[in-house]
Amino acid sequence: MPGRSLVEKIWDQHVIARLSEDTDLLSIDRHLLHDLGGSRGLLDLKSRGLKVHNPELTFATPDHALSTAPGRAGTSKIGQELLAALRTETAASGITLFDVDQPGQGIVHVIGPELGLSLPGATIVCGDSHTCTHGGLGALAFGIGSSELTHVLATQALIQKRPKTLRARFEGKLPLGVTAKDMILALIGHIGAAGGTGYAVEYAGSAIRALPIEGRLTICNLSIELGAKIGMVAPDETTFEFLRGRPYAPQGEMWDLAVKAWRELPSDPDAVFDREVVIDVEKIIPQVTWGISPEHVVGVDGVIPDPKTVDDPARRAAIETALEYMGLQGGAPIAGTPVDWVFIGSCTNSRLSDLRAAAEVVRGRKVAAGVRAWVVPGSENVKREAVAEGLDKIFIDAGFEWREPGCSMCLAANGEVVAPGQRSVSTSNRNFVGRQGPRARTHLASPASAAASAIAGAIADVRMMGRQ
């Protein structure tokens, strides 16, 4: 019998009942709620006369619908109502809420790891597709729908189909200017936005092992953009050091027992995966998207695909549709494309290391005329740490706007949008049609590349900025 993979080990530990050959009832260790869907789930539960099964395992924070303007000015009526309902219903249910301006508030996928709520070997769910982010710590984490959310509130369990397994190995040493964001965009470009559909992805290899935890979280965040709702990295000494002393991580004797158990989680040497992909990171250069899917990506020194050179009719039509929406010309260099906006934020790239990387590029420079640039920290704690380091002053001096923590312009649920027809370089995770606002044009890139583009006023190669 072959060894077991990381996901198989965690899955097996959480099976309450085997329902069919490929479907199990799983116990859930952590349930994270946000303002967009949390209160609705709690109200749904209340309307049925049910109580939250494990309020001590459920945590909430507002992030999606809040304004990120200073003082939260401009939060919409809907946003205010969602926040009020989240406060009322979590208090009534005994659920811990990390509220506005409190340490712990922030994007739900930033605060989980930051507080030690997200732990290796845990099952974590949230009503948000980027819950896969928490897999960067070795958790089995995935997004759920509204009916599933209510089910978990009522039972702390969930019926799930066992996924196939895909191992993506990143081997080699990262070249100059290449980051975790570039690694995962390169993988999506290589196997496509549906390449991971039906799989739980384990990211492995020497380049993954060399990444700090925040880079691993970025990698796992975009698993859903591969079509995979689960992405994971095996826990190791880097993981343990990241979690040691976090408020909700085990302490004292329990810490020692937890680490001992976590050391048993990595995939066995003879584990068999349904699919394996190997990426040579030394061939990756900074990536930027050109179209309306994360798989529409090229190296920053590349050219935009020309549909005239594509034989496949379906693919040619898809490229033509993307180019029309993006207002781009096939065959043209992507670098030098003028931009109107730069957004540094989101659950993908709003952590302290992301802000440090961007600040290093903009320090002593100015945002190009005509470009509006925002920095939105991922959490209140990230904001405070960045301010303590003086990063806010670096950005403000360069001409950026320094905002309050939240999801903001990643999905524009709070009304913060890129104007129709304007072009944004964004550190977020989706460049779908209308994602940052009606007719907004989004190019995904790393924080350093986004910062370089803000300074240049156009999509820019950060390797030419002399500081990477």
- What whole-number distance in Å separates Cα of residue 191 and Cα of residue 209? 22
Residue stretches of the annotated binding site for [4Fe-4S] cluster = 347, 407, 410
Q: Which residue in the block uniquely carries the two structure tokens 């309020």?
A: 55
Q: Which residue in the block uniquely carries the two structure tokens 């095996």?
A: 234
- What whole-number distance in Å separates Cα of residue 150 and Cα of residue 156? 10
Q: Minimal CA–CA distance to 462: which of 344, 350, 382?
A: 344
Residue stretches of the annotated binding site = 347, 407, 410
Is-contact 454 400, C-beta < 8 A? Answer: yes
Is-contact 59 198, C-beta < 8 A? Answer: no
- What whole-number distance in Å separates Cα of residue 388 and Cα of residue 101? 16
DSSP labels for 141-163?
A: EEE--HHHHHHHHHHSEEEEEPP
Amino acid at 42: L
Element (H, E) at 84: helix 77-93
- What whole-number distance in Å separates Cα of residue 220 and Cα of residue 202? 9
Q: Which residue in the block uniquely carries the two structure tokens 């207002």?
A: 327
